[in-house]
């Protein structure tokens, strides 16, 4: 890869944008609507996914659309390793220079989060509804659009006569479960993938819908179930309270070992990491760009306010600091069924987000030790950790890529690109970062204000998806020029 910045040249921006607009409206959106209506929940949320067949239906839908695209050198294949979710593998031969081991690796996934409650009237997780610039429904933005956008960007570039390196597109089916199957596919396909000099992941967020956002880091995660049992069966609360400790209070005491109840700060230093100066500087820029939108994007109830008032520190809170969320509970009856009973146990689903650089496996072991040690009242306390995920910090951006991203953002959003970390986890990125340490990375996506991935009323912002497709097409051209220097 040459170090000097080389712009994508020879592309007709208006013609490229027109093709992408027509492709999205006439071809992609109808298919994406059909995809949304398939309840292909990730294996963690549908252990019988194979028997139900929804994942296969989603794969077949996306595969059929991909095969129908008139892209020179396109090969489409569904690969199935025994006992694992399927993988959609696509390869597009390079044009001009660029054959061989080098490639651009493009990534997305097509499994989904569960339904969740709270969808407003007329909407639902498995119901595609377009309202103006928004396409509502589960999975359209996270991450069903990725395969469509990737191939459309390549086709748009080819129609312009532009050149690109060999492209490999991987669409997995278990990302929302932590990508347990993906390393096995990467290993099995090692020779076919080669050595990417650029990795593009379309599964991230954007701070607004007005410019191209480049994700610089991702947090890791330790999740698991914390259970406290104090009785073999429930007993009359008037008889037992004051003698038998509350299992809920036992959990409150245990969580207090991890989190400061007033500030929300995670107490054990094991879960913290030093924040690089460059990431602090980027956080200040992102906070300035976003302003009040940084927190107004969230549907606060009543007079609820953000945890702190300093915008740049809010950015760092959600990207470089550990945080704890309770995402589920068991052992508590519904309010209508809540009798005067001292319950035998309470179980909480914990989600601890970790900064980049904190080892997920080590954090899971440490969390278990802290929570299970010397339990209050010698209650039966067990913490069962799920598969942990490591965070990721991007390598320095090469000059050619920085220029290409800024040019693309200005060309299609009329504003420069912005760099910011994301608070979520994409397990694939840590693995790829270790496997291909010399590659450049573009991690981006369409999950902006109000998109509400994983929650109710999730939507895809259609204009952003179209502009991002155009940016990707231009980026592929710039990558080829920077790598091989032989024109558009």
pLDDT in tens, 222-261: 999 999 999 999 999 999 999 999 999 999 999 999 999 9
Alpha-carbon span 37 to 337, nearest angstrom: 34
pLDDT at 9 over 60: no
pLDDT for residue 95? 86
| Unique residue bearing structure tokens 């208006």 | 14
Percent of the residues in the chain that have a pLDDT greater than 90, as a whole number: 90
pLDDT for residue 2? 41
* Per-residue pLDDT reduced to its tens digit, 273-295: 999 999 999 999 999 999 998 89
Q: Residues 142, 165: contact at Cβ < 8 Å?
A: no
381 DSSP β-pair partners? 228
How far CA 451 is from CA of 17, 184, 235, 319, 391, in Å, comes to 24, 32, 45, 18, 23
pLDDT for residue 7? 44
pLDDT for residue 297? 87
* Per-residue pLDDT reduced to its tens digit, 132-183: 999 999 999 999 999 999 999 999 999 999 999 999 999 999 999 989 999 9
* Per-residue pLDDT reduced to its tens digit, 407-450: 999 999 999 999 999 999 888 888 888 888 999 999 999 999 99
379: nearest Cα among 246, 257, 239: 246
Mean pLDDT, the chain, as a whole number? 94
291 DSSP β-pair partners? none
* Per-residue pLDDT reduced to its tens digit, 342-396: 999 999 999 999 999 999 999 999 999 999 999 999 999 999 999 899 999 999 9
Which CATH class for the 13-218+391-484 domain?
alpha beta
Question: Token pair of 253, please?
Answer: 């005491």
The model's confidence at residue 5, banded by pLDDT at 50, 70 and 90, is very low
Number of neighbours of residue 308 by Cβ within 10 angstroms: 12
pLDDT at 487 over 60: no
CATH number 3.30.70.360 given to 224-283+316-385: yes
Strand order in the sheet with 440-443: 74-79, 87-92, 167-172, 102-109, 195-201, 440-443
* Per-residue pLDDT reduced to its tens digit, 37-94: 999 999 999 999 999 999 999 999 999 999 999 999 999 999 999 999 999 999 999 9
Model confidence, pTM: 0.88
pLDDT at 10 over 80: no
* Per-residue pLDDT reduced to its tens digit, 88-117: 999 999 986 656 789 999 999 999 999 999
pLDDT for residue 98? 52
Instruction: Calculate the dihedral angle through the C-alpha atoms of 447, 448, 450, 453, rounding to the nearest 10 degrees.
Output: 20
Number of neighbours of residue 459 by Cβ within 10 angstroms: 24
Q: Residues 356, 320: contact at Cβ < 8 Å?
A: yes
Q: Tell me the domain boundaries of the chain.
A: 13-218+391-484, 224-283+316-385
pLDDT for residue 178? 86
Burial 124-146 (b: 16+ CB within 10 A, else e): bbeebeeeeebbbbbbbbbbbbb
pLDDT for residue 488? 45
pLDDT at 8 over 80: no
């Amino acid at each position: 890869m040459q170090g000097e910045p080389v712009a994508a040249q020879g592309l007709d921006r208006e013609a490229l944008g027109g093709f992408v607009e027509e492709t999205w409206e006439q071809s992609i959106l109808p298919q994406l609507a059909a995809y949304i209506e398939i309840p292909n929940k990730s294996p963690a949320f549908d252990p019988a996914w194979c028997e139900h067949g929804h994942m296969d239906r989603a794969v077949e839908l996306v595969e059929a659309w991909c095969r129908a695209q008139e892209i020179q050198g396109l090969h489409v294949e569904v690969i199935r390793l025994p006992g694992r979710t399927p993988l959609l593998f696509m390869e597009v031969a390079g044009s001009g220079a660029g054959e061989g081991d080098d490639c651009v690796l493009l990534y997305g996934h097509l499994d989904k989060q569960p339904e969740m409650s709270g969808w407003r009237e007329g909407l639902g997780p498995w119901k595609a509804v377009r309202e103006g610039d928004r396409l509502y429904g589960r999975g359209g933005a996270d991450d069903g659009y990725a395969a469509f956008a990737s191939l459309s960007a390549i086709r748009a570039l080819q129609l312009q006569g532009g050149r690109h390196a060999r492209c490999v597109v991987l669409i997995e089916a278990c990302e929302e479960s932590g990508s347990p199957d993906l390393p096995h596919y990467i290993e099995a396909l090692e020779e076919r993938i080669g050595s990417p000099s650029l990795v593009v992941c379309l599964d991230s967020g954007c701070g607004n819908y007005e410019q191209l956002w480049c994700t610089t880091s991702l947090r890791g995660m330790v999740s698991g179930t914390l259970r406290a049992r104090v009785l073999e069966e429930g007993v009359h609360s008037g008889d037992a309270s004051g003698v038998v400790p509350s299992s809920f209070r036992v959990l409150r005491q245990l969580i207090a070992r991890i989190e400061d109840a007033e500030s929300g700060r995670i107490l054990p230093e094991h879960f913290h990491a030093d924040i690089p100066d460059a990431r602090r500087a980027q956080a200040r820029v992102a906070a300035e760009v976003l302003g009040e939108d940084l927190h107004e994007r969230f549907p606060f109830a009543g007079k609820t306010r953000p945890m702190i008032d300093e915008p740049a520190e809010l950015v760092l809170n959600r990207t470089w600091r550990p945080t704890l969320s309770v995402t589920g509970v068991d052992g508590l009856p519904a309010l209508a069924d809540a009798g005067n009973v001292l319950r035998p146990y309470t179980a909480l689903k914990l989600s601890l987000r970790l900064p980049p650089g904190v080892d997920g496996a080590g954090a899971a072991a440490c969390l278990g030790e802290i929570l299970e040690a010397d339990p209050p009242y010698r209650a039966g306390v067990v913490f069962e950790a799920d598969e942990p995920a490591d965070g990721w910090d991007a390598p320095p951006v090469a000059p050619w890529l920085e220029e290409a991203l800024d040019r693309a953002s200005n060309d299609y959003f009329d504003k420069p690109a912005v760099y910011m970390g994301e608070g979520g986890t994409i397990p694939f990125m840590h693995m790829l970062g270790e496997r291909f340490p010399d590659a450049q990375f573009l991690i981006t996506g369409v999950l902006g204000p109000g998109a509400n991935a994983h929650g109710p009323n999730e939507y895809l912002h259609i204009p952003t998806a179209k502009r991002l497709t155009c940016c990707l097409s231009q980026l592929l051209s710039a990558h080829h020029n920077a790598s091989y220097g032989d024109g558009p």
